[in-house]
Amino acid sequence: MINYKQNLKIGVSGVRGIVGESFSPTLIAAFAASFGRYVGAGRVIVGRDTRSSGAMIEHAVVAGLIAVGCQPVLVGIMPTPTIQIAVVEHNACGGIAITASHNPEQWNALKFIGGSGFFLNNVEAAELLDIYNQADVEFAPEEDYRGIRRLTDAFETHKNKIFAQVNVEAIKKCHFRVAVDCCNGVGALLSRDFLEQLGCTVFTVHDALDRGFERPPEPLQENLSKLAAIVKQHECVLGFAQDPDGDRLAMVDSCGQAIGEQYTLLLAVDHILAEMPGDVVVNIQTTKAVEDIATSYGCEVHYAKVGEINVTEKLLEQGAEIGGEGNCGGVIWSRVHPCRDSYVTMTLMLEMMAESGQSFDEIVASMPRYVIRSLKFPCNPAQAVNIVNFLNEKYSRERICRLDGIRIDFRDYWVLVRQSNTEPVMRLTIEAVSVSLVEHVVSEFSALIMDLTKE
Amino acid sequence: MRYLKLGTAGMRGVVGNGIDPLRVIDYAAAFGTFVDGGTVVVGRDSRESSLMIYHAVVAALINCGCRVIDAGIIPAPVLHFMTEELNADGALLIGAGHQGAGWNAVIPLNCNGSYMNSAMLQELLDVYHSRQYRQAAWNELGQAVLPEIKPVEQYLELIAANIDIELIRQKNYRVITDFCNGSGAFMAEQFSSLLGIKMIPINNLDSGVLPHSPEPRPRSAAQVQSIMAPLTADVGFVFNSDMSRCSVVTDSGETLSEEYTFPLVADYMLEREVDNRRIVSNICTTRTLDKIVQRHGGTLCKTRVGQALLIDKMLEVDALLAGDGSGSTAFRKGVNGFDSFMQMAVILEAMARKNMSSTELAANLPRYHAVKLTLPCRSERAYKLLKNLRNYFPDAKVTEIDGVSFEWDNGWISLRAATTEPVIRMISEWTTHDEALDRAMRMRGLLERLE
């Protein structure tokens, strides 16, 4: 087997790598220049999360953009959804978000946003790569240069767009006590003020901009102990856990217990459908509970491949208002902008409590409960195809979805087997109605996959 | 046109076609490696492309682990000054100085603020060509910070220490300055209030666009010249975009060739400083300078063309001044580089101390007439061409310190391949303009036949 260091990933989700190893200023400037050529000479919104390498990367991006005749519009440290919205609000040709989202801190990435404020889709990303792969980037002469602009009120615009869509007065009246774990990310700059404007009393943890992440960015229970403690200490109704670039959200209840990322989307869907029934679009790694809730409102759920842009495109195609990615706490509400947005999500949670008069714990308790497990197996691409085909045949009489790997829905459980986009592994996700059933199905499918991957 | 030159004047070329962010990143990474991740001051002129280069340079240096001191838009002499003052390990000066719009350059500076000499440049280029650059770990990247000192204020103190400010103040001079929308404009007010002069600056916008050729030659001085009389100005100065060069316009409206700036400064400085009479210049500087130095009983030491060589020689022989015919002077007691604020201050002091108008000062100079021509020629052909030329003039004294020069009793011609552009530069200087022009044209004809 070829032994290689997989620390540079150029693909649909942008270009990402490890700073100090593969993610060099030359690579970054060349990508920024190619992106500038791709979207055309005009404004390009540039923002970043709080990673310490962000400044270096921003300099390289700016140089690459100016050199092809684009005008970088710098928003500084800003949430990814804010950057997406700014692209639309300022009629920019595109945007670049400098963030590796939930990846560890040594990673960083360029995420490319098209003129509609959405990430590039498969086809667009391939076109961009084609430009990048040409040996020579064409640079502009100095007379075509347009300088740099800075934008200080990008989040203000974002916030106003959210507040225009919710019942701010109702939320304010409740004077919620809430805690936020900002993961030392963009939330450290904005979340306290945002929630205070919604009348909340706010307690924050991991709220430094310049100290690194201090906790692993994945919002697992064991990574949220400080949030749990502060929620209990200050008797908050709930605690929010943001990721470093502010698009995804996990939550803990008033006892400091993590409710699981799948519930973030579930609660948002319930709240929106209660007011305005309609179609829902989620990725295939999303809890069945969403279907249960949708069915109860007489609404339909459509599935999309994993990845924000896939869900967004399906959402627009179906004319759906709400959707997202259950597995990572990503809620998309198209009334603000069809992108994952933790600020929208926090606001919807507060509005849900304000309008229903129920506590967060009560709302969570009223939701359908499933148990979900995720595992991964070392697996090469040939074996992966083999496994998927085998399962497809074996369970041909069940409800099968082949959008991304294979998802098989049984009466009390579903199984998703798909190859990772980022690692040479097979991911196995199983959701069932009870712990015992999950354990049983996990052992059954693990054995099957182990057997099929045996050399 | 595609053009890139890596040499004594740093990395230089046509923006977008030679100078691009990828090349600049490599060059700055080589520099960051050369200074081993130390402290680097970065300053730039106001051109649009200088901002692009600045961002590329900072990304590369930070990635090497360097601490970057961001001097912003700053005149070259102030960058020379602060590099030494801050004990930095080096500096990068972004800006093409006298070169026209569409060009730009990254010039590496030594830890003492001067241009790097050829041995150091060789080392830097070796790193550049090896493409093996210093790489900091993700959590040890460098940072860009603002300077902890006030560079402009401290630099002006240095000028104040070397100039009789009180004397100039008494005169209430009215001075017209053309900054060519360059980095000097940002200091105009502070400088004039220091010297108590009434300055009328033109082309002093930070638009990033050059209003005319930034080379301070008489043809660039038309605007200043036209308003000298209406505004009853005492003297005018035309600067290049980074304040390394200038030419002088007298109160009678004559624009002196930039060749006379250095002799004018030297004439007064040799009179003022009795204990140091050593002057450094290069082989193609006007004979006016030779006569001036003779007049004051000084010694003149000549080098090849290039700012680094002049400054190094000035420091080596502890000379009073070093300068050349491009309108530049470096001062031993000043910064380690060409400094046109200082040239302006010295000329004003000369007028004040001698109680003479600028026209009278200029009248004191023995005049020669120079004709300068640039002939397009790629460097690989230029060197051979110049070698062949030396046998054509058996009656002349031939020197080959830099390119080739021919000296006759009443004049001389110097030809050399430029370090900044693909051209041969010719200077022809005689006692009359007609003869200088005639000789230059004949030489050009010969070159064209030989090619």
Interchain CB distance below 8 Å, A28 and B59:
yes
Interface test with A, best of B3, B19, B20, B128 (most A CBs within 10 A): B20
Q: What is the band of B305 on the pLDDT scale with cuts at 50, 70, 90? A: confident
Q: If one looks up domain A371-453 in CATH, what number appears?
A: 3.30.310.50
Residue B57 Cα, gap to closest chain A Cα (Å): 8
* B138:A19 CB<8 A: yes
Question: By the 8 A CB rule, do A284 and A303 touch?
Answer: yes
Check the CA dihedral A134-A135-A141-A147 and report its sign.
positive
Average pLDDT over residues B159-167: 97
Report pLDDT for B421: 79
Looking at domain A8-152, its CATH superfamily turns out to be Alpha-D-Glucose-1,6-Bisphosphate, subunit A, domain 3 (3.40.120.10)
Instruction: Tell if the CB–CB gap between A142 and B29 is shorter than 8 Å.
Output: no
Alpha helix positions (H), B247-286: 261-272
Residues in chain A closer than 8 A to B15 (CB atoms): 139, 141-142, 145
Judge whether A101 counts as a catalytic residue: yes
Chain B hits for A46, CB-CB cut-off 8 Å, are none
- Condensed to tens digits (0 to 9), the pLDDT of residues A284-294 reads 999 999 999 99
**What integer pLDDT is reported at residue A4 of this predicted model?**
43
Per CATH, domain B369-450 is 1.10.10.10: no
The pLDDT assigned to A455 comes to 61
Pairwise CA distance, residues B94 & B92, whole Å: 6
Above pLDDT 70, what percent of chain B?
Answer: 100
**Are B21 and A57 in contact (CB < 8 Å)?**
no
| B16, B102, B139 member nearest A67 (Cβ) | B16
To the nearest whole number, what is the mean pLDDT of chain B?
93
Nearest Cα of chain A lies from the Cα of B307 at a distance, in angstroms, of: 26
Q: What is the pLDDT of residue A1?
A: 35
Instruction: Return the domain boundaries, chain A.
Output: 8-152, 157-365, 371-453
Residues of chain A with pLDDT under 70: 1-6, 12, 422, 455
pLDDT of residue B5: 83
CATH class of B4-150: alpha beta
- Answer yes or no: do B59 and A63 touch at CB < 8 A: yes
Handedness of CA A89, A94, A98, A100 (dihedral sign): positive
Q: Do domains A8-152 and A157-365 have the same CATH topology?
A: yes
B210, closest residue in chain A (CA to CA): A143
Of the residues A31, A56, A71, A148, the best mutation for testing chain B's interface (the one with the most B CB atoms within 10 Å of its CB) is A56
- Homologous superfamily (CATH) for B157-363: Alpha-D-Glucose-1,6-Bisphosphate, subunit A, domain 3 (3.40.120.10)
Which residue among B47, B55, B135 sits closest to A62, beta carbon to beta carbon?
B55
Q: In what order do the strands lie in the sheet with A371-378?
A: A371-378, A425-432, A413-419, A406-409, A399-401
CA distance B2 to A144: 16
**Interface pTM (ipTM) of the complex?**
0.91
Q: Are strands A330-333 and A322-325 parallel, antiparallel or unpaired?
A: antiparallel
pLDDT digits (tens, 9 = 90+) for B8-32: 789 999 999 999 999 999 999 999 9
| CA proximity to A54, closest of A189, A210, A242 | A210
Distance CA A151, CA A211 (A): 25
Domain boundaries, chain B: 4-150, 157-363, 369-450
State whether B138 and A142 contact (CB < 8 Å).
Answer: no
Calculated CA dihedral for residues B105, B109, B113, B119, nearest 10 degrees: -130
**How far does B89 lie from chain A, in Å, by closest CA?**
20
Which chain A residues have a beta carbon less than 8 Å from that of B141?
Answer: 19-20, 52-53, 55-56
Inspect the interface and report whether the beta carbons of A62 and B144 lie closer than 8 Å: no
Token code pair at residue B25: 């990143």
Q: What is the pLDDT of residues B115-140, one digit of tens each?
A: 998 889 999 999 999 999 999 999 99
Flag whether pLDDT at B84 surpasses 60: yes
Other C-beta atoms within 10 Å of B446: how many?
Answer: 13
Q: For chains A and B, what is the number of CB pairs under 8 angstroms?
A: 119
User: Residues 6 or more apart from B402 whose CB is under 8 A from it?
Assistant: B282, B283, B284, B304, B305, B416
Q: In sequence order, what are the residues at sequence separation of 6 or more whose Cβ sits closer than 8 angstroms to the Cβ of residue B166?
A: none
Instruction: From chain A, pick out residues whose CB is under 8 angstroms from the CB of B99.
Output: none
B273, B348 in Cβ contact below 8 A? no
Which residues in chain A touch residue B136, judged by CB atoms under 8 angstroms apart?
20
C-alpha angle A341-A345-A348 in degrees, rounded to nearest 5: 140
Q: Is A400 helix (H, G, I), strand (E, B) or coil?
A: strand
Determine the residue among A18, A59, A146 to mutate to test chain B binding: the one whose Cβ has the most chain B Cβ atoms within 10 Å.
A59
**pLDDT the model gives residue A3:** 37
Residues of A in contact with B139 (CB under 8 A): 52, 105-106, 212
Q: pLDDT tens digits for B39-48?
A: 999 999 999 9
* Nearest Cα to Cα of residue B315 among B338, B336, B298: B336
CA nearest to B21, candidates A101, A139, A267, A194: A139
Using the 8-state DSSP alphabet, how is residue B17 labeled?
B
| CATH tag, A157-365 | 3.40.120.10
Q: Which of A53, A101, A254, A342 is catalytic?
A: A101
Chain B: give the shortest CA distance to residue A52, in Å: 7
Instruction: Give A-chain residues touching B63 at CB under 8 angstroms.
Output: 20, 24-25, 56
Q: Name the minimum distance, in Å, from the CA of B210 to any CA of chain A.
A: 11
d(CA B254, CA B256): 6
**Partners of A18 in beta bridges:** A107
Q: Between chains, do A56 and B48 touch, taking CB under 8 Å as contact? A: no
**A96: chain B residues, CB-CB within 8 Å:** none
How many Å apart are CA B411 and CA A101, to the nearest integer?
A: 71
Q: What's the pLDDT at A6?
A: 60
* Residues of chain A that touch chain B, judged by Cβ-Cβ distance less than 8 Å: 18-21, 24-26, 28-30, 33, 52-53, 55-57, 59-60, 62-64, 66-67, 105-106, 137, 139-145, 147-148, 212
